[in-house]
Amino acid sequence: MTGSLVQHAVLLSVVLFTLGALGVFLRRNVITIFMCIELMLNAVNLAFVAFSRSLGTFDGQVLVFFVMTVAAAEAAVGLAIVIALHRHRDTLDVDAFNLLKW
């Protein structure tokens, strides 16, 4: 019973992770890309919690707290960078940020 629950949860987390990763490549808006990365991180959280439940150890659950904290810090810095860039260029389309290339 628990075994199959864990399998389903991990499968779901793989699906969510893949969706997030695809979104990073396919979306063009910086904020959406950022949300896709958050989706990937939360997919990982789901996997950690599921493994933690099946293994009966708490390390995974503890790690999830750290991931959430770090993701919040990352969001603060990331959004600040987006705002700073938006001041220079009135768009959030990644294709417009093309000054640096060969």
Partner 1 sequence: MFAVDLRPLLPALIVAVTALVVLLAQAFTPKGSRSPSMGLTATGLAGALLLSLTMAADARYGRGASTGGTYVADDFALFFHVLLIGLALMATLLSPAYYRENGGERGEYYTLMLFSLVGMLGLVSTTEMISMFVALEIMSVALYALAGTRRDQIESQESALKYFVTGAFASAFLLFGMALLYGLSGSTQLARVARGVAEAGPEQLPLAVLGCGMLIVGFGFKVASVPFHMWTPDVYEGAPTTVTALMAAGVKAAAFGGFLRVFLGSLSGRLPDGTYFSAEWIPALAALAAITMVIGNLGALAQSNLKRMLAFSSVAHAGYLMSGMVGQSEAAGQAVLFYLVAYGAVNMGTFGLLASLSKGGREPLSLQDVAGLGERRPALAAALTVFLISLTGVPISAGFVGKFYLFGAAVNAGYTSLAIVGVLMSVVSAFYYLRVVVAMYMREGEGEDAWAVPEASARLSLLVAVVVTLGLGVWPAPVLDLARAAALAL
Binding residues (CB under 8 A) for partner 1: these are 10, 13, 17, 20-21, 24, 30, 33-34, 37, 40-41, 43-44, 47-48, 50-51, 54-55, 57, 59-60, 62-63, 66-67, 70, 73-74, 77-78, 80-82, 84-85, 88-89, 97, 99-102
Question: Considering beta carbons, is residue 12 or 63 the nearer one to partner 1?
Answer: 63
CB of 45 to partner 1, least distance (A): 9
CB of 62 to partner 1, least distance (A): 7
* Cα–Cα nearest to 64, from 83, 80, 82, 41: 41
Question: Considering beta carbons, is residue 5 or 59 the nearer one to partner 1?
Answer: 59
Residue type, 11: L
Can you tell me the distance from the alpha carbon of 89 to that of 91, in angstroms, rounded to the nearest whole number? 6
Q: Are 20 and 40 in contact (CB under 8 A)?
A: yes
CB of 12 to partner 1, least distance (A): 13
Q: Hey, what are 58's tokens?
A: 């708490």
For the chain, the straight-line distance linking the first and the last C-alpha, in angstroms and rounded, comes to: 56
Phi-psi bin for 101: left (phi > 0), alpha (psi -120 to 50), beta?
beta
CB of 80 to partner 1, least distance (A): 7
